């Protein structure tokens, strides 16, 4: 039994050592290929599906926040069923600009894209917690550049 444990530990050390050597080889190969004139372009950083930045918005060359969202995150503009409404039954997606309610998604047509720092999507549950039942279908939060 004592020999089996020793042999197991030796095998584990051998396997780990081989993995380390392979990792070193991969790193060396990656460094060499990065210097190659035919190296692949670096991967684009993964973007947050619930946030648009000023840079992303500017890349669209759209004039309004609505148009930029329609191009980049069109699902944000679609109403979702099942939200709780206020006494008037208002359960549309609400838009907040710098903390103030400005209306539903059509209000985004009045927001100049170049003025925007970030646009954030809040799912229905998050929106209800932050803004109350009126935002029962979700909220779009616009923060202007200062």
Task: Read off the pLDDT of residues 40-59 as tens digits, 9 standing for 90 and up.
Answer: 666 666 789 999 999 999 99
* pLDDT score of 41: 62
* Residue-range domain boundaries for the chain: 1-43, 51-144
| Average pLDDT score over residue span 59-63 | 97
* pLDDT score of 60: 96
Report d(CA 39, CA 86) in Å as an integer.
57
* Confidence band for 94, pLDDT divided at 50, 70 and 90: very high
**In a 10 Å sphere around its CB, with 0-12 CB exposed, 13-18 middle and 19+ buried, how is residue 76 labelled?**
buried
| Average pLDDT score over residue span 19-42 | 49
pLDDT above 70 (res 16): no
* pLDDT score of 27: 42
**In a 10 Å sphere around its CB, with 0-12 CB exposed, 13-18 middle and 19+ buried, how is residue 12 labelled?**
exposed
pLDDT above 60 (res 13): no
Q: Is the pTM of this model over 0.75?
A: no
Report d(CA 132, CA 85) in Å as an integer.
10
Higher pLDDT, 91 or 57: 57
Question: Look-up: residue for tokens 């042999």?
Answer: 7
| Average pLDDT score over residue span 80-100 | 71
């Amino acid at each position: 039994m004592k020999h089996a444990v020793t042999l197991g530990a030796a095998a584990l050390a051998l396997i780990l050592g081989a993995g380390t050597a392979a990792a070193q080889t991969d790193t060396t190969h990656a460094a060499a290929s990065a210097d190659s004139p035919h190296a692949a372009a670096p991967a684009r950083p993964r973007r947050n599906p619930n946030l648009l930045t000023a840079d992303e918005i500017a890349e669209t060359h759209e004039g309004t926040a609505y148009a930029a969202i329609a191009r980049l995150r069109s699902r944000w503009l679609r109403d979702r069923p099942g939200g709780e409404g206020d006494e008037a039954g208002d359960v549309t997606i609400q838009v907040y600009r710098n903390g103030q309610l400005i209306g539903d998604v059509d209000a985004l047509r009045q927001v100049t894209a170049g003025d925007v720092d970030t646009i954030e999507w809040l799912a229905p549950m998050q929106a209800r917690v932050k803004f109350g039942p009126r935002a029962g279908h979700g909220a779009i939060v616009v923060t202007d550049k200062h």
